[in-house]
Structure 1
Amino acid sequence: MSAMQDYTSSLSDPSSRKFETFSYLPEMTSEQVRKQVEYIVSKGWNPAVEHTEPENAFDHYWYMWKLPLFGETDVDTILAEAEACHKAHPNNHVRLVGYDNFAQSKGTEMVIYRGIAV
């Protein structure tokens, strides 16, 4: 029988919590985040940036950073918006979302900046 790895996560410790699939992997490099944005653009999904306080990430809606970037295909512009959100809210988690128009749902979402619980 193989041993199963347990990820320590606690409601009382917001910095230990896991979000979406990528949070179980090592933190993405800026190049890996860029590749994810390229994937969102290649699928024709509309990117959006959201943020929230770490302690509210599970039981509150996330705040939108501006409107979704409808039709935006410039990867640098999308990354610049995510970075601007992070600079404006350095203690918040920042999440990148790809909205799929045809499925009428999120195609992907990932936390690209982790905030610090206060």
Structure 2
Amino acid sequence: MSEVMDYKSRMSDPASRKFETFSYLPAMTAAEIKTQVEYLVSKGWNPAIEHVEPEYLMDSYWYMWKLPMFGETDVTKVLAEAEACHKANPNNHVRLIGYNNFNQSQGAAMVIFRGKTV
């Protein structure tokens, strides 16, 4: 069995905190974010944007940026909303969600812009 790496994420160290799957990887590039949006749209999921202050990252409540983009298939519009949310809230984490209508759940959720840690 291979060694399992311990990610030293601690509440006492805000810079070490991890959140959701992609947070263990380097921050996504614009091209990688676009690929994720294309995937959500190709699955027929409804994109939505949320944001939160880094100090409240571990809380279950994130602010919704406008309403989910029901039926939106234009990747550039989704990216524009994500950029607008990031520009309006530059210190916040910004999350992209893909709502799956069939399962009535989130098909995907990932932080696409990271805010400043305390």
What's the TM-score, normalizing by structure 2? 0.94
Identity of aligned residues (%): 70
Equivalent residue number for residue 38 of structure 1: 38
Q: Is the 8 A contact 2:27 2:113 kept in 1?
A: no
Q: Is the 8 A contact 1:9 1:17 kept in 2?
A: yes
Structure 1: stretches of 5+ with no match in the other structure: none
Deviation of the 1:69 alpha carbon: 0.6
Equivalent residue number for residue 87 of structure 2: 87
Rounded to whole Å, the distance in 1 between the matches of 2:29 and 2:117 is 22
Rounded to whole Å, the distance in 2 between the matches of 1:2 and 1:27 is 26
Deviation of the 1:14 alpha carbon: 2.3
Structure 2: stretches of 5+ with no match in the other structure: none
Rounded to whole Å, the distance in 2 between the matches of 1:14 and 1:97 is 23
Pairwise CA RMSD: 1.2
Structure 1 segments, 4+ long, off by >6 Å, are: none
**Matched residues, number:** 118
What's the TM-score, normalizing by structure 1? 0.94
Q: Is the 8 A contact 2:51 2:65 kept in 1?
A: yes
